[in-house]
Structure 1
Amino acid sequence: MGRRLLAIAAVPLALGGCITVEAPTEPIVIELNVNIRQEVIYRLAEDAGNTIEENADIF
């Protein structure tokens, strides 16, 4: 049992030198396509509703 645990513990140490991490040569580009149309329309509708309520005698 002790030899098995020793062998299992030794495997990551033996493989530790085989792993290399390198930075990419080109910059990382993250494209975010955010749809804000819905929020703008909602705010305009809310503002229009408030304007109608405040000036009910005009309409």
Structure 2
Amino acid sequence: MGASQPEQVTENAASLDIVLAPEHQAGLDAAGVPPALNPYFIFQLPWSQIFGSSQVQKWER
């Protein structure tokens, strides 16, 4: 917990009782999303950047 004094342990344990509102939790979740790494970032690009002016159809499995 990183505490160097007994009082800090008590304060840290008390902080576990905090409940966030759903919108605050959603904001923290969104801020903590890691960036997509290579090569997976390509799936987040607009199709025009991937295929240029070519018209492509989505492949259904």
| TM-score of the aligned structures, taking structure 1 as reference length | 0.30
By relative contact order (CA 8 Å, sep 6+), the higher-ranking structure is 2
TM-score by length of 2: 0.30
Q: Choose between structure 1 and 2: higher helix proportion.
A: 1
Q: For the pair shown, which has the larger CA radius of gyration, 1 or 2?
A: 1
